[in-house]
Chains A and B, each alone.
Chain A
């Protein structure tokens, strides 16, 4: 089971100079390669994994992704908090404001709602882990695009931490893939 800890994994710093980032950060909130997608993917795939190493990796990285989902949400919340509807509209969030106000909603940067069709879960553990390696790379590339699009030093610092975590996860998934291959070849 899960327990909630009332602190972020890494500080979410926002200097509020870059409202347009709120819309773009939705890519990582609930887009195809988002933290939400990663969490659901890993926490769904873990049950049929053949080794304890793979079960643990998917459980704990899946759990960390939920902590990242909270960091992205915090950045978006802080960016839009107290901002007038007109300014939100100018920053591309007019449609979001019409439907949700300043509340968060699981959609991507273009407003497309989250769907489980973004991910796969297969009984074949190699197929799962190859997808997971690709997912980490796509998330890393998305963070790099977001960093390039921002001029807010606080946001860039937080996104750089999250980008690093994708690199670490890729490494751990690679090791897990080797362990599972060895197990299947025994």
Chain B
């Protein structure tokens, strides 16, 4: 994996984590407007980053359109990536 690909992947991981944190917080604070606005902002950023990454490097999920031949199974597995 190139440094550029890894850096985009790490950005996705960070945004996904932020979305999860707001998700958990909002489950018990559904009327916190400020948190909700941040959640919506991060969800949109995450969606855009995932789209950009998958267009460039192939699928992260099996629910993304694929080039021929089927790409999903051969993109890097999370436990085989060097995160340094």
What is the interface of chain A, defined by CB distance below 8 A to chain B? 1, 47, 52-53, 55-56, 60
Contact = CB atoms under 8 A, between A and B. Distances in A.
B79 A52 contact: no
Closest 7 CB pairs of A and B: A56-B73, A52-B74, A52-B73, A55-B77, A47-B79, A53-B73, A60-B62
Interface in B34-55: none
> Of residues B16, B72, B77, which shows the largest number of chain A Cβ atoms within 10 Å of its Cβ?
B77
A37 B34 CA distance: 42
A56 B79 contact: no
Contacts of B16: 1
12 contacts: A1-B16, A1-B78, A47-B79, A52-B73, A52-B74, A52-B77, A53-B73, A55-B73, A55-B77, A56-B72, A56-B73, A60-B62
A47 B77 CA distance: 9
Interface of B: 16, 62, 72-74, 77-79
Contacts of B62: 60
Contacts of A52: 73-74, 77
Nearest to B62: A60
A55 B62 CA distance: 13
A53 B77 CA distance: 11
B46 to A, nearest CB: 11
Contacts of B72: 56
